[in-house]
Amino acid sequence: MRKPDEMELHQSNQSIKLSWIFGMGMLLIMSISHFVVNGSLSNSFLVMLSMLIVYRVNIMMMQSKMGNDKIKPIVITMFLVFAICLVLGLVYGYLS
């Protein structure tokens, strides 16, 4: 299997970027409409937040691999905050 050239990589990256933006936009629209109609947040809002968290962590990890060592404590803190929020959300959902 041959390696893709620069133009193929550029087109592939553009399509991934545009599909991600479209997906985030649709999830945002669905979340807003569900909130307006029902007065509560939907699961699409949680999916959107999860996608944003994964995106930011991925960017921070890439910056860390490129030599920016100030990022590692931030990534660890983000993982801990996410884990704590996840546990609290599960406990709150279980108790209610």
Q: Where are the domains of the chain?
A: 6-94
Across 3-19, average pLDDT: 82
> Angle at which helices 71-95 and 43-65 pack, to 10 degrees?
160
pTM here is 0.58
pLDDT the model gives residue 96: 63
pLDDT grade for 79, boundaries at 50, 70 and 90: confident
22 or 39, higher pLDDT: 22
Mean pLDDT of the chain: 79
Across 52-65, average pLDDT: 77
